[in-house]
Amino acid sequence: MEKSGFGKQGILTDGRKMFLSVLLVSMVVFLVTGTFADNAGGSDDPLENFNIILSVNGHDSSNLEADFIHRCALTSPIVATCIIFESDRESDHKLSQVEYIITRDQYLMLPFRERQNWHNHAVELTPERGEPACVSLPEGLECGALVDILHTTYGKVVTLWDPKDALPSYPPYTYAVDSPFALQQDLNNNLHREWDKGDESTSSANILNEIPEEDDSGDTQCDVEFGDDLELDFRSTGTGEIITLGGFDNFASERVNFFIGDLEIDNEDVDGDTRFSVRAKTNDGSILTMVVSRIEAEELIEQDCEKVIWKSEGSGRLRDTLRGITQIDFDMFIEYNLELGKINVVGVNSENTGEVIFAFENIIDKNF
């Protein structure tokens, strides 16, 4: 099957503005599992869901340019599990490695001694590094959107059968795909100058998730379960940033005029509506405006002590002064930070789950 490279033209590739990983990962997991639930449900075949197939190089220490086929499946409670095959067409496609993929939050739960075994996909999944390409994807999942979301995750690769060995005779070991050797930088005597040592902004050395302390009753300070009753009434005017709108992600000016709504959770059932107005000027002089008067809450995606994420459905018109008006039906994923009163939003085309129509972040709830 012919590979399809994701390139750099996809939406949300601007590293200057990236969403919190939990919202994007939650969104893609919901979209993919929702889209393919009919295929996955009730199957006794554990391999049936390994239907996300990527090609990535740099996994063979004796041939760093060799492509390796990753067959991946969404795996709760982590993001995904991949079985990795040597892709030499003259071989029998040895099952060489297994990779587990987790979120940034889950990575920060690992003991410090374990983090050295994990790699940041923002480093690996680039054209300059791993040259990732999509070999085959389930219908409705777009390659660029998938890779962008994976950029916010971490992976651990365990080698089971080194391709250069005639037999699987060596004990399994963790293979660091972003080590200086794998990045072909181990003979660079200037590496210490070219790659500056990180600091608190680039290191997780001082970040370790702690178990909540128990109160006097013996219960933890936070004991929120999925579906617990919750009422939110949020209102924001003039706060927030437009990450992408109508296929553009770089603007001469941008403004979230207002973002207003409410949410009520009752035993996993959700009710509420949202409305918003945004305006942005593109670098070619076009003015983009989108005003949506009613977006209905449909489904609870995630809920804990720190945040709640839900899916809403709506429709609206995107006006472009140079390109005309587009009528769009969309699914909207809203993350509300319960500790900060901050809101992040992603809207995707309900007819094409790989197309991101709009994304906003850092919206501040004035009612908080």
Res. 35 pLDDT band, cuts 50 70 90 = very low
Quick one: 158 and 26 in the same domain? yes
Task: Report if residue 315 sits inside a domain.
Answer: yes
What confidence score (pLDDT) does residue 89 get? 56
Task: Report if residue 115 sits inside a domain.
Answer: yes
What confidence score (pLDDT) does residue 7 get? 35
Q: Which residue range forms the structural domain that includes residue 24?
A: 4-187
Task: Report if residue 200 sits inside a domain.
Answer: no
Quick one: 178 and 274 in the same domain? no
Find the distance separating the first CA and the last CA of the chain, reported in whole Å. 52
Cα 3 to Cα 32, 41, 67, 254, 260: the distances in Å are: 20, 28, 11, 37, 43
Task: Report if residue 268 sits inside a domain.
Answer: yes
Partnered with residue 327 across adjacent β-strands are 317
Task: Report if residue 217 sits inside a domain.
Answer: no
Res. 23 pLDDT band, cuts 50 70 90 = low
Q: Which two tokens stand for residue 175?
A: 């293979």
Res. 352 pLDDT band, cuts 50 70 90 = low
Domain final position from 187, 220, 247? 187
Quick one: 138 and 262 in the same domain? no
| Coil vs helix vs strand at 41 | coil
> Which of 48, 175, 196 lies closest to 124, judged by CA?
175
Q: Which two tokens stand for residue 91?
A: 């071989």
Quick one: 135 and 238 in the same domain? no
Q: Using CA atoms, how far apart are residues 246 and 346, in angstroms rounded to an integer?
A: 12
Res. 234 pLDDT band, cuts 50 70 90 = very high
Quick one: 152 and 242 in the same domain? no
Quick one: 240 and 330 in the same domain? yes
In this model, does residue 9 exceed pLDDT 80?
A: no
Residue-wise pLDDT tens digits, 294-339: 899 999 998 988 899 999 999 999 999 998 999 889 999 999 999 8
| Coil vs helix vs strand at 7 | coil
What confidence score (pLDDT) does residue 96 get? 93
CATH of the domain at 333: 2.40.160
Crossing angle for the helix pair 143-150 and 21-35, to the nearest 10 degrees: 140
In this model, does residue 31 exceed pLDDT 70?
A: no
**Sequence-distant (≥ 6) Cβ neighbours of residue 329 within 8 angstroms:** 313, 314, 315, 349, 350, 351
Quick one: 148 and 243 in the same domain? no
Task: Report if residue 30 sits inside a domain.
Answer: yes
Quick one: 90 and 169 in the same domain? yes
Q: Are 332 and 274 in contact (CB under 8 A)?
A: yes
Residue-wise pLDDT tens digits, 39-67: 444 457 788 889 999 998 888 888 888 88
Q: What is the mean pLDDT of residues 256-276?
A: 94
* Residue in this structure with the two tokens 């760093």, named with its chain if needed: 64
Q: How many CA atoms lie within 13 A of 108 on its CB side?
A: 16
Quick one: 178 and 46 in the same domain? yes
Q: Which two tokens stand for residue 133?
A: 């390409």
Over the range 10-35, which residues count as b (16 or more CB within 10 Å of their CB) and which as e? bbbbeeeebbbbbbbbbbbbbbbeee
Task: Report if residue 203 sits inside a domain.
Answer: no
Quick one: 134 and 244 in the same domain? no
Task: Report if residue 220 sits inside a domain.
Answer: no
Q: Using CA atoms, how far apart are residues 328 and 333, in angstroms rounded to an integer?
A: 16
Check: pTM over 0.95? Answer yes or no. no
Q: Using CA atoms, how far apart are residues 346 and 360, in angstroms rounded to an integer?
A: 7
Residue-wise pLDDT tens digits, 180-196: 888 888 898 888 888 78
> Which of 171, 64, 154, 170 lies closest to 116, judged by CA?
154
Q: Number of structural domains, the chain?
A: 2
Q: Are 285 and 322 in contact (CB under 8 A)?
A: yes
Quick one: 247 and 307 in the same domain? yes
Q: Which two tokens stand for residue 324?
A: 């005309």
In this model, does residue 132 exceed pLDDT 80?
A: yes
Quick one: 182 and 281 in the same domain? no
